[in-house]
Structure 1
Amino acid sequence: MNTSKLIQVMSLTAVMFVLQGCVTAKIDEMTYNPPEAGVGASSVVLLGRRHASNYDTERDFVQCVRNHIQGKDDTIDIVDEAQFLDALYPWFEPRTAPMHPGAIRELLAQPAVASKIQALDTQYMIWIDGNTERTDASGSMTCGVGPTGAGCFGFGTWSDESNYEAVIWDFSNQAEVGRINTSTSGQSYMPAVVVPIPIIAPVQGTACDGIGEQLLQFLSAKY
């Protein structure tokens, strides 16, 4: 590799490093009874906890976890969240959704619910609970237009924290069979000398990858 190409590669690596803030992550797993060879032909559904009008696990986070799992093992059949909620309406609406494993038995005692879950061939339901919040922000930035053009000057920084939990319920055994917790935090920056340059810490993405990998350990026959 000649000197000019080496400089280009080093510059690109430096830019990639600079444009991403730092993230710390902690993942705890408690698994009680994982399937011996994955979920097989049965399907799985991932649902975000939305049990109050002001509490809503982000739908894009649930979709991110789903994409992570199927990106690593496309043999796992994951029922679309909206499809499942429509099929089981109104039993999984925020006010009526089961909040504890004991409620599964009560739900399956209703013929309409049991037949629909059987039609979807759903063995595991995974509740994903949590959110990402901005915890701190500081700094200032000013922008304006002058004779030589427009520009901004200043520096801003902020912190984000993600806390999520995935709880695995088994419809066959009518019990909770696994639980995964992840906590991530990160610092992002926005320096501006003429042009603002965001340096974003991928806090939510790191949490998604952490939960997705742990769920793969539980669901996939490949792991």
Structure 2
Amino acid sequence: MRCLVIIAAAFITASLSACVTSTVDEALFNSPSKGIGDATVVILGRRHASDYETEPGFIDCVGKHITAHDPSIEVIDELSFINELYPWFEPRTAPLHPQDIELLLQKKLVAQKLQALGTRYMIWIDGSTVRSDSAGSLACGVGPGGAGCFGFGTWDDDSSYEVTIWDFNRRAEVGRINTTASGQSYMPAVIVPIPIIAPVQVTACDSVGEQLLQFLSSEY
């Protein structure tokens, strides 16, 4: 009987697959036709909203995507940048609009540090990935024959991110990207829970990273 249960679990797993749907809208202008040269880029997450924060892991994912595909682009670590320019990029003090660039650069210490870092482009990412519409149930227990679980659960993940690119040389916004991704994940369990995860956030990260590479890299 146990062999039949394991076979059934394998059949259920094989018959399910998690898929992701995504969309990307972009408006990029004044892109550097020959790449950014020796200039650096910083990617920061918006965290001034009261009901969510842009995940640091997503910011890190986008930065790694860029450098993996074009190692010539130097992406400054988010936390290092925030600490270096404390307190001007804390959630309560960070500039919210492109017109704030001029005011920011009027602060002598900020301008000096940005120049020392060689930062030309600041990329803001605002958004999050949320889980919703959970359904099903999963029960686990221990009996004379051993421990096991039985049940079936599903849930949806939805990602939505807005990206804005600021150019310190032009003192203006030079690009905007919007991406959404959604997918359904599954957790069948016949003795052993087997998660089948839809890579929603990873898909959104790759979408944003590819669009930013088209803007920043001379190889795209």
Give TM-score scaled by structure 1 length. 0.90
- In the alignment, the residues of structure 2 paired with residue 17 and residue 218 of structure 1 have an alpha-carbon distance, to the nearest angstrom, of 40
- In the alignment, the residues of structure 1 paired with residue 89 and residue 152 of structure 2 have an alpha-carbon distance, to the nearest angstrom, of 45
Match of 2:170 in 1: 173
Match of 1:106 in 2: 103
- 3-state secondary structure, aligned to 2:208: helix
Q: State the one-letter code of the partner of 1:185.
A: S
Q: State the one-letter code of the partner of 1:90.
A: P
Match of 1:200 among 197, 201, 205: 197
For residues 34-183 of structure 1, the aligned pairs below 5 Å read 34-52=31-49, 54-183=51-180
- The alpha-carbon deviation at position 16 of structure 1 amounts to 9.8
- In the alignment, the residues of structure 1 paired with residue 214 and residue 94 of structure 2 have an alpha-carbon distance, to the nearest angstrom, of 27
CA contact under 8 A between 1:18 and 1:199: conserved in structure 2?
no
- The alpha-carbon deviation at position 17 of structure 1 amounts to 7.4
Match of 1:221 in 2: 218
- 3-state secondary structure, aligned to 1:28: strand
For residues 16-35 of structure 1, the aligned pairs below 5 Å read 20-35=17-32
CA contact under 8 A between 1:47 and 1:62: conserved in structure 2?
yes
Number of aligned residue pairs: give it: 210
- The alpha-carbon deviation at position 15 of structure 1 amounts to 11
The two structures, once aligned, show a CA RMSD in angstroms of: 1.7
CA contact under 8 A between 1:27 and 1:182: conserved in structure 2?
yes
Q: Which stretch shifts more, 31-40 or 201-210?
A: 31-40
Moved beyond 2 Å, runs of 4+: 14-20, 52-55
- Residues 154 and 29 from structure 1, CA distance in 2 versus in 1: closer, same or farther, beyond 3 angstroms? same
CA contact under 8 A between 1:20 and 1:202: conserved in structure 2?
no
- The alpha-carbon deviation at position 113 of structure 1 amounts to 1.0
- 3-state secondary structure, aligned to 2:23: strand
Provide, for residues 18-77 of structure 1, a one-character-per-residue CA deviation record: whole Å limited to 9, x for no partner: 675110000111112111111111000000111145431100000000111100000001
- In the alignment, the residues of structure 1 paired with residue 27 and residue 116 of structure 2 have an alpha-carbon distance, to the nearest angstrom, of 30
- 3-state secondary structure, aligned to 1:112: helix
